[in-house]
Amino acid sequence: MSFAPDAAEAATDALLQAIVKSERVAATFSAVCDGGSLTTWREPGRSLLGPSSSGPITDPVGTRYWAELHRLGEGIFADGGLDALDEANMHVVQMDPRHSDWRAMVLESVWFDIGRAA
């Protein structure tokens, strides 16, 4: 599937705004930050670094957001490789300076293995 970079970045921005506005969904994404340390999700809500999550994820909406963010990242990578993905990450983070640190951690976590998996 082909993505226009600007459209994918706008869609990513919109999803991150929705996550910030939804307290319930934001709980799924709170595992991203462990005292400011980046965590890495291999699947929604499961971090390899940082806090451990016990039990299944009980937030299907948050899980759908995670999957959509990952799909958008895969589309950006498919169209432009790692450079495009890194550039999109920087642009999306800068779209909301108030939440830029959180956005950077979320995108790094969700997009970590795209194009880098062995």
User: Does residue 38 contact residue 49 with C-beta atoms inside 8 Å?
Assistant: yes
Q: What is the pLDDT of residue 83?
A: 94
Q: What is the pLDDT of residue 99?
A: 83
Q: What is the pLDDT of residue 14?
A: 92
Overall domain count for the chain: 1
Amino acid identity of 71? R
Q: What is the pLDDT of residue 92?
A: 95
Is 117 among the domain residues? no
Give CA–CA dist 39/48, Å, rounded.
7
Q: What is the pLDDT of residue 30?
A: 62
Q: What is the pLDDT of residue 95?
A: 94
Is 86 among the domain residues? yes
Q: What's the domain range around 91?
A: 5-111
User: Does residue 28 contact residue 63 with C-beta atoms inside 8 Å?
Assistant: yes
Is 116 among the domain residues? no
pTM here?
Answer: 0.72
pLDDT along the chain (118 residues), means of 10: 72 88 63 50 46 49 82 94 94 91 85 78
Q: What is the pLDDT of residue 23?
A: 64
